[in-house]
């Protein structure tokens, strides 16, 4: 074991060695003398690097402290390392060492006992070691250097040269060993073992190695991970099971006990907060710190003696307080005002107000659009995107779940709001899927945007002055437009509210003023330009033309808009939103001419005239003959009816048949009538017969009974029989006789002869049979002189269980279980309590502690009906778990004590 430890220490040393070696290499290139020095330095460094503990250990192991032996061991191990390095070149070996996929058993590692990270540490030192190898080789080659080194060592250590020589020889041996490895020989474990001969633990190690060699173990391939984990889990399960099973008898006993008592432990502990607080002991770090601070004697003293002085530090000047108060009050009042205002605004329920508000918002947005070309562009893009989306998804075309559901339930049953919402959606759809060309020719904003683009295109190569003039013109246009619009707004009449009107007017006036000023400015600047250039005037003319077009266009559009609105409104009020939609689409398609628009409106109203306006004039002509013809038809039918009547079809009962089938000959009808009568008679007879049959199958009284009946004072038995029949009929009603509705399906004699349909007869028979069965099932079926009512007493039903109570599976068991009364009137006083004891007896406030393990004999029969779970605990200050265990363990001891007594 000690050897192993040492080895570990060596390993620790290794990196430092490698470092020094690399240093060596650098020095070697410079010169031999320096190299020797470097070697020296290396030794020097070595010394202090060893941990003190290790050194001590070494001292113990080798009581004669010879530095050489130490080094020897060291070097040996360096050799060993080298061996490992050499192994690395062998292809299969490093894989084993790495144990990459853990395919190799750990047994193999006994040879090396290297930790896995050894390699990693070793990697940088490869070169160094090789170097060392080289150096050593060289030192061998060059006796000179060796001597030098020896001398140096001698000087430094003050030891005779033989000591080093000896070491060298030994070293040589190992080296030769190592060199032999290059040839056919390999390093065996024995070689390595030899080097540590004589050390403690050596024999043990050797024995183990020998053992291994004598019995070469065939190492199994380790199981795959899944299998291994499965096994692990299995084992864990077994373990857990065993752990759990020990609780089983205990739990079983508790379950089986009819009553569990939790009342032994009545002491409820602390009663007040103060009591709890006084018991508090700081446990955690934080708590302890707090306690330390709080219970600091200085603090306590200060607090007790002059607590007032602590307050002095907190003094605040009166002005500050006042100021703060004022500030706060102001803020509060401001907040309050604001809140009130918001509330007030929120409370406005006026629809018109809200509509106006909304419109205003829209307008503001649109105004921004008109002013800022960038925004307009963006807006247009957005719109386009939306349109495309709409065309793709048809989101607003009643395809949503909600809309589907609404349509499925019928639009007529919906309330106003829903319908409006649906219409709104469709409108949205229409707007979004409107064709592009229609968009182009009527929306001014898009026009403008295109204009803008045109302008941009034109302007980009153009001159500065041109641009300026154009801009001016445009600005002028806009101001004019704005002016005009502002004139229009009140006319639209939407803003009928007085306060809105006032506000608007004010704003308008301001805007108007501003616009006028702006216009003047534009005019002035334009004039300047006109003076300057003639060509520009032409352009401006063009633009003027455009400007003139703008205002013209405007009213038209507004007109259309209002119309659209009208249509919408109408659609809102009416149900046919689809028609409205059509109308809208129509209007959009032909919005250039008002007449056509009107025509389409008509189209929707009267689908008959949808073919065209040409039929409009023809309407009267076409319409008039229509009713006439129908009238004629009516007449004709009337006549025929009359004729038929006049032919002498008698009886009201044939009216319906006649109406349905006029071309029937009269004779047939009469026959039918007769048939009808006779048939019905037959039916009646049949019905009668059937009832008599029902009576006949009741038992025929015997002779004796008959005599008895005859000579009884009253004919009580017959009377009773009658009564019983009545009662039975009442409780189990006789099925109705199958009858056809008079006049129903009796208009062909074929049907008449067939009589009742078979299904009817079958049904009747079924009902009869069912009744018979029901009668047979009655309790009084076999008791001639008894009627037992089987009416269900609804009031008494509440006294019966509607379903079988839970744990019971069979009615019998349940009813057997409730056969015994458990009240004090029916049981002796001894057993009443036991019979009525609840499953758990517990005082209020008693804390139920978790179950504690105790030994239970699994085969014992719980004799006592109650079982006490919690035991009283003599000392209940903490350490509950410790104390309660022996308390719990007491139980099983009891019976044994009893046994002893016996």
Which residues contact other proteins by CB under 8 A?
Answer: 255-256, 258, 401-402, 405, 712-714, 716-717, 719-720, 723, 727, 780, 783, 785-789, 791-793, 795-804, 807-821, 825, 827-828, 830-832, 834-835, 865, 899, 902
Nearest to 604 by CA among 560, 574, 633, 649: 574
Give the shortest CB-565-to-other proteins separation in angstroms: 29
Instruction: Give the span between the Cα atoms of 477 and 522, in whole angstroms.
Output: 10
Phi/psi for 261 (5° steps) reads -105, 130
Give the shortest CB-714-to-other proteins separation in angstroms: 7
Instruction: Give the span between the Cα atoms of 365 and 620, in whole angstroms.
Output: 52
| DSSP-assigned beta bridge partners for residue 260 | 840, 867
Instruction: Give the span between the Cα atoms of 274 and 750, in whole angstroms.
Output: 104
Give the shortest CB-792-to-other proteins separation in angstroms: 7
Q: Which is nearer to other proteins, 90 or 793 (CB)?
A: 793
Q: Which is nearer to other proteins, 594 or 717 (CB)?
A: 717
Instruction: Give the span between the Cα atoms of 109 and 96, in whole angstroms.
Output: 9
Q: Which is nearer to other proteins, 335 or 813 (CB)?
A: 813
Phi/psi for 866 (5° steps) reads -120, 155
Largest CA distance in the chain: 165
Q: Which is nearer to other proteins, 520 or 831 (CB)?
A: 831
Q: Which is nearer to other proteins, 273 or 830 (CB)?
A: 830
Inter-helix orientation angle 444-459/464-492, to 10°? 170
Nearest to 11 by CA among 120, 131, 95: 120
Q: Which is nearer to other proteins, 112 or 808 (CB)?
A: 808
Instruction: Give the span between the Cα atoms of 540 and 537, in whole angstroms.
Output: 5
- H or E segment to which residue 190 belongs: helix 189-195
- CA 579-584-585 angle, to 5 degrees, is 100
Q: Which is nearer to other proteins, 882 or 902 (CB)?
A: 902
User: 464-468 contacts: CB < 8 A, separation 24 or more?
Assistant: 465/529, 465/532, 465/533, 465/536, 466/536, 466/539, 468/529
Give the shortest CB-827-to-other proteins separation in angstroms: 5
The residue behind tokens 């216009």 is 519
Q: Which is nearer to other proteins, 357 or 841 (CB)?
A: 841
- H or E segment to which residue 840 belongs: strand 840-841
Give the shortest CB-783-to-other proteins separation in angstroms: 6
**Are the CB atoms for 493 and 346 separated by under 8 Å?**
no
Q: Which is nearer to other proteins, 215 or 405 (CB)?
A: 405
**Token couple for 756:** 């009742």
| DSSP-assigned beta bridge partners for residue 868 | 261
Give the shortest CB-752-to-other proteins separation in angstroms: 30
**Are the CB atoms for 259 and 837 separated by under 8 Å?**
yes
Q: Which is nearer to other proteins, 407 or 689 (CB)?
A: 407
Instruction: Give the span between the Cα atoms of 806 and 817, in whole angstroms.
Output: 13
Rg of the chain over all Cα atoms, to the nearest angstrom: 58
Dihedral of CA atoms 395, 401, 405, 407 in degrees, nearest 10, equals 10
Q: Which is nearer to other proteins, 703 or 791 (CB)?
A: 791
Q: Which is nearer to other proteins, 670 or 866 (CB)?
A: 866
Give the shortest CB-771-to-other proteins separation in angstroms: 12
Distance (Å) of CA 232 to CA 99, 223, 224, 242, 862: 22, 12, 12, 15, 39
Q: Mapping DSSP to helix (H, G, I), strand (E, B) and coil, where does residue 713 land?
A: coil
Distance (Å) of CA 307 to CA 191, 290, 304, 313, 317: 84, 20, 6, 11, 21
Give the shortest CB-768-to-other proteins separation in angstroms: 15
**Are the CB atoms for 191 and 209 separated by under 8 Å?**
no
**Token couple for 627:** 């009713």
Give the shortest CB-776-to-other proteins separation in angstroms: 14
Give the shortest CB-741-to-other proteins separation in angstroms: 18
Q: Which is nearer to other proteins, 628 or 708 (CB)?
A: 708
Give the shortest CB-867-to-other proteins separation in angstroms: 12
Give the shortest CB-785-to-other proteins separation in angstroms: 4
User: What is the SS3 string spanning 496-508?
Assistant: CCHHHHHHHHHHH
Give the shortest CB-653-to-other proteins separation in angstroms: 29
Give the shortest CB-862-to-other proteins separation in angstroms: 9
Give the shortest CB-770-to-other proteins separation in angstroms: 8
Instruction: Give the span between the Cα atoms of 556 and 443, in whole angstroms.
Output: 11
Q: Which is nearer to other proteins, 124 or 895 (CB)?
A: 895
Helices (H), 372-460: 373-393, 401-409, 416-433, 436-442, 444-459
Phi/psi for 259 (5° steps) reads -135, 135
Give the shortest CB-721-to-other proteins separation in angstroms: 9
**Are the CB atoms for 28 and 42 separated by under 8 Å?**
no
Q: Which is nearer to other proteins, 305 or 819 (CB)?
A: 819
Q: Which is nearer to other proteins, 438 or 836 (CB)?
A: 836
Give the shortest CB-337-to-other proteins separation in angstroms: 33
Q: Which is nearer to other proteins, 485 or 721 (CB)?
A: 721
Give the shortest CB-475-to-other proteins separation in angstroms: 48
- CA 75-76-80 angle, to 5 degrees, is 115
Count CB-CB contacts under 10 A for residue 426: 21
**Token couple for 141:** 């080659």
Q: Which is nearer to other proteins, 622 or 781 (CB)?
A: 781
Instruction: Give the span between the Cα atoms of 167 and 332, in whole angstroms.
Output: 96
Instruction: Give the span between the Cα atoms of 605 and 603, in whole angstroms.
Output: 5
């Amino acid at each position: 074991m000690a050897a192993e430890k040492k080895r570990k220490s060596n390993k620790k040393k290794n990196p430092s060695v490698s470092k020094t070696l690399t240093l060596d290499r650098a020095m070697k290139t410079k010169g031999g003398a320096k190299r020797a020095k470097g070697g020296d330095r290396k030794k020097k460094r070595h010394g202090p690097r060893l941990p003190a503990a290790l050194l001590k250990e070494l001292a113990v192991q080798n009581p004669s402290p010879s530095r050489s032996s130490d080094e020897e061991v060291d070097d040996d191990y360096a050799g060993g390392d080298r061996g490992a390095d050499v192994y690395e070149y062998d292809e299969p070996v490093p894989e084993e060492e790495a144990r990459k996929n853990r395919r190799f058993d750990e047994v193999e590692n006994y040879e090396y006992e290297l930790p896995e990270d050894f390699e990693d540490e070793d990697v940088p030192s490869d070169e160094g070691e090789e170097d060392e190898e080289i150096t050593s080789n060289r030192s061998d080659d060059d006796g000179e250097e060796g001597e030098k080194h020896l001398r140096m060592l001698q000087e430094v250590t003050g030891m005779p040269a033989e000591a080093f020589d000896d070491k060298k020889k030994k070293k040589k041996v190992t080296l030769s060993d190592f060199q032999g490895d290059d040839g056919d020989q390999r390093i065996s474990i024995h070689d390595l073992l030899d080097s540590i001969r004589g050390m403690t633990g050596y024999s043990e190690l050797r024995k183990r190695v020998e053992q291994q060699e004598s019995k070469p173990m065939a190492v199994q391939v380790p199981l795959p991970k899944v299998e291994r984990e499965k096994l692990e889990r299995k084992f864990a399960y077994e373990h857990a099971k065993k752990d759990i099973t020990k609780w089983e008898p205990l739990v079983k006993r508790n379950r089986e006990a009819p009553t569990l008592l939790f009342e032994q432990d009545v002491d409820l502990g602390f009663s007040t907060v103060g009591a709890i607080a006084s018991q508090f002991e700081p446990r955690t770090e934080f708590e302890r710190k707090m306690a330390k601070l709080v219970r600091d004697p200085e603090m306590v003293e200060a607090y007790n003696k002059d607590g007032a002085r602590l307050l002095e530090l907190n003094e605040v000047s009166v002005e500050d307080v006042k100021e703060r108060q004022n500030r706060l009050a102001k803020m509060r009042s401001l907040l309050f005002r604001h809140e009130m205002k918001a509330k007030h605004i929120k409370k406005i329920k006026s629809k018109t107000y809200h509509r106006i508000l909304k419109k205003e918002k829209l307008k503001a947005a649109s105004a921004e659009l008109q002013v800022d070309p960038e925004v307009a562009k963006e807006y247009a893009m957005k719109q386009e995107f939306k349109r495309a989306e709409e065309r793709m998804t048809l989101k607003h075309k009643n395809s949503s779940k909600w809309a589907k559901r609404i349509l499925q339930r019928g639009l007529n049953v919906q309330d106003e709001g829903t319908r409006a919402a649906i219409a709104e959606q469709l409108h949205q759809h229409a707007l979004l899927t409107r064709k592009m060309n229609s968009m182009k020719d009527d929306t001014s904003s898009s026009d403008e945007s295109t204009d803008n683009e045109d302008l941009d295109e034109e302007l980009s190569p153009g001159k500065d002055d041109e641009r300026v003039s154009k801009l001016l013109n445009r600005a002028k246009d806009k101001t004019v437009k704005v002016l005009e619009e502002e004139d229009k707004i009140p006319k639209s009449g939407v803003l009928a509210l007085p306060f809105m009107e006032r506000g608007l007017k004010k704003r308008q006036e301001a805007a108007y003023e501003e616009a006028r000023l702006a216009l003047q400015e534009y005019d002035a600047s334009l004039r300047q330009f006109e003076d300057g250039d003639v060509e520009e005037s032409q352009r401006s003319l063009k633009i003027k033309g455009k400007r003139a077009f703008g205002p013209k266009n405007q009213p038209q559009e507004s007109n259309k808009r209002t119309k659209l609105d009208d249509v919408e409104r109408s659609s809102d009020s009416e149900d046919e939103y689809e028609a409205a939609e059509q109308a809208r689409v129509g209007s959009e398609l032909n919005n250039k001419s008002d007449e056509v628009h009107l025509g389409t409106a008509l189209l929707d109203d009267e689908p008959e005239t949808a073919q065209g306006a040409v039929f409009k004039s023809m309407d009267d002509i076409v319409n008039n003959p229509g009713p006439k013809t129908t009238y004629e038809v009516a007449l004709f039918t009337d006549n025929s009816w009359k004729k038929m009547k006049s032919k002498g079809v008698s009886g009201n009962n044939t009216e319906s048949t006649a109406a349905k089938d006029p071309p029937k000959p009269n004779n047939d009808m009469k026959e039918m009538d007769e048939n009808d009568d006779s048939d019905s008679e037959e039916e009646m007879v049949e019905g009668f017969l059937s009832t008599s049959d029902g009576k006949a199958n009741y038992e025929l009284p015997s002779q004796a009974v008959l005599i008895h009946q005859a000579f009884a004072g009253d004919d009580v038995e017959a009377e009773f029989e009658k009564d019983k029949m009545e009662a039975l009929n009442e409780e189990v009603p006789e099925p109705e006789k199958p009858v056809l509705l008079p006049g129903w399906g009796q208009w062909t004699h074929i049907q008449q002869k067939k009589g009742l349909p078979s299904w009817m007869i079958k049904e009747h028979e079924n009902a009869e049979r069912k009744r018979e069965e029901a009668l047979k099932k009655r309790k009084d079926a076999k008791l001639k002189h008894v009627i037992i009512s089987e009416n269900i007493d609804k009031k008494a039903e509440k006294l019966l269980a509607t379903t079988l109570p839970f744990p019971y599976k069979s009615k019998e068991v349940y009813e057997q279980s409730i056969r015994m009364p458990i009240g004090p009137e029916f049981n002796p006083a001894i057993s009443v309590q036991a019979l009525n004891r609840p499953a758990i007896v517990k005082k209020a406030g008693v804390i139920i502690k978790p179950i504690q393990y105790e030994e239970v004999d699994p085969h014992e029969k719980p004799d006592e009906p109650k079982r006490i779970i919690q035991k009283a605990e003599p000392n209940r200050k903490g350490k509950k778990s410790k104390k309660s265990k022996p308390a719990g363990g007491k139980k099983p001891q009891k019976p044994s004590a009893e046994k002893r007594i016996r």
